[in-house]
Amino acid sequence: MELYNLKHPSQKVSFKEAVQLGLGKDRGLFFPSQIPVLDDIEGLLALPFVERSKKVLGAWLASELGQDAVDELVERAFNFDLPLVAVDEQRACLELFHGPTLAFKDFGARFMAQCVNAFVGDTRLTILTATSGDTGAAVADAFYGLEKVNVVVLYPKGKISELQEKMFTTLGKNIHTVAVSSDFDACQDLVKRAFDDPEVRDGLSLNSANSINISRLLAQICYYFEAVAQSKQRHEADPVISVPSGNFGNLTAGLFAKAMGLPVKRFIAATNANDTVPRYLDNGQWQPNPTQATMSNAMDVSEPSNWPRVEAICEKLGWPLSSLVGIRLSEEQTSQALAELHAQGYVSEPHAAIAAKALSLTLVPDEVGIFLGTAHPAKFKDVVDRELTLNLPLPPELEAVASKPILSAELAADFAALKVHLFKILA
């Protein structure tokens, strides 16, 4: 598989190199030189998830890694269910939160960890990543205990739920966590600066593990195929898929799936008040506002890092950007959406509820819609209990960490301080 740097198209790398580098020169994103197109989609959709995923990922990776290696990566990474649960006549939720950290990020993080582990050789790697919520837990869990990989996770102090925080800050061993006194964009900026600093980047063999790593995006393509496979067993129509979006990795993967031949009627990019993309789709002006804190905090991103890939796919395939529908929901609408779903017998959480509501606002009769359930409702217990007057039980995964102490260091959003800290804990 060949990829090129979207900022410097002459920089070309293999999949292995792209996984290890994370980002290209000048922080450019890697993008595939070619998007494989699958034939016999119907036959593929008839296969079970793991078998189908081997073929979907094999189309990208078998030429470089061999199909056997791809099969092994898939088997190790994808070992949990993803049911499509009907909510009403038109809408169903693809529940992507049955993995070890109860969020869809387990798919990308587990596949990436398997890739890194398979490619690492003799160096000792440092995974440095910023999280606005669930990435941290998924990455920490996926890499926990691997001997040649250290993980450092930066997160905005006080801006994620306590349970979310406990899921990745209580592990110890090779998992190091830093609470930064600022917002997610500041954390992301610190990560970018670390990658730009040769002393840090080379001295600690940095690798990034957030949604910019191409291995994560390829893994995420697989569940779009599963969504359509299950939907087609109930409805003939090609589904509309609504994606709760923050950094837009999830939507990028969906567009890759469609580019490979998956029948999706259209995609909806659903956001909270951090609505840079919906405004851009409306008026063509890219004008990020300061990041606002919302109930759907994993989507509190005003400068989504994967957006250049979304544009690159559309450009390559000749899809006008106007084929994407951008929907923004206020906090009040998010509350309403949660309550409406609950009234229909479905307990959701703020991220998925936004995507569900975006379907209600835009589906026409005879269309069917899928919204992506990106986190288990219990991960957002505070909000869900408050909004729905419930007392959700904690699933066992959360119960186990709730009583453990947080092991994070605390730092200001200051690159010099971070640099000192990194060398202290890792050198």
87 with 94: CB under 8 angstroms?
A: no
101 with 167: CB under 8 angstroms?
A: yes
Least gap, CB of 233 to ligand PLP (angstroms): 26
Least gap, CB of 2 to ligand PLP (angstroms): 24
Closer by beta carbon to ligand PLP, 180 or else 255? 255
Closer by beta carbon to ligand PLP, 44 or else 302? 302
Q: Across the beta sheet with 30-32, what order do the strands follow?
A: 12-14, 2-5, 30-32
Compute how many residues bind ligand PLP; rule: CB under 6 A: 17
The only residue of 62, 84, 299, 384 in contact with ligand PLP, by rule CB under 6 A: 299
d(CA 341, CA 83): 17
Closer by beta carbon to ligand PLP, 134 or else 189? 134
Q: Which of 412, 187, 204 is nearest to 305 (CA)?
A: 187
Least gap, CB of 300 to ligand PLP (angstroms): 10
Write the binding mask 183 to 212 for ligand PLP: x where contact by CB under 6 A, - elsewhere.
----------------------------x-
Closer by beta carbon to ligand PLP, 45 or else 298? 298
Interactions with ligand PLP, residue window 146-165 (CB under 6 A): none
Q: Which of 39, 11, 43, 38 is nearest to 26 (CA)?
A: 11
197 with 189: CB under 8 angstroms?
A: no
Does residue 103 interact with ligand PLP by CB under 6 A?
yes
Burial (CB < 10 A; 0-12, 13-18, 19+), residue 329, is buried
Q: How big is the chain, counted in residues?
A: 427
Closer by beta carbon to ligand PLP, 90 or else 211? 211
Does residue 351 interact with ligand PLP by CB under 6 A?
yes
Interactions with ligand PLP, residue window 128-147 (CB under 6 A): 133-134
Interactions with ligand PLP, residue window 246-275 (CB under 6 A): 246-250
d(CA 376, CA 381): 9
d(CA 232, CA 229): 5
- Please state whether beta strands 125-130 and 149-156 pair in parallel, antiparallel, or not at all (unpaired): parallel
Closer by beta carbon to ligand PLP, 45 or else 218? 218
Write the binding mask 375 to 414 for ligand PLP: x where contact by CB under 6 A, - elsewhere.
x---------------------------------------
Q: Which residue has the tokens 């056997």?
A: 68
d(CA 111, CA 175): 18
The only residue of 313, 374, 398, 411 in contact with ligand PLP, by rule CB under 6 A: 374
Closer by beta carbon to ligand PLP, 180 or else 295? 295
For the chain, what is the total number of helices (H) and then of strands (E)?
Answer: 18, 14
What single DSSP character describes residue 335?
H
Least gap, CB of 254 to ligand PLP (angstroms): 10
Closer by beta carbon to ligand PLP, 250 or else 294? 250
H helix or E strand, kind and range, residue 135: helix 134-143
DSSP secondary structure of 41-70:
HHHHHTS-HHHHHHHHHHHHHHHHH-HHHH
Write the binding mask 225 to 244 for ligand PLP: x where contact by CB under 6 A, - elsewhere.
-------------------x
**Structure tokens, 216:** 């994560």
Closer by beta carbon to ligand PLP, 78 or else 97? 97
Give the residues lining the site for ligand PLP (CB under 6 A).
Answer: 103, 105, 133-134, 211, 244-250, 298-299, 351, 374-375
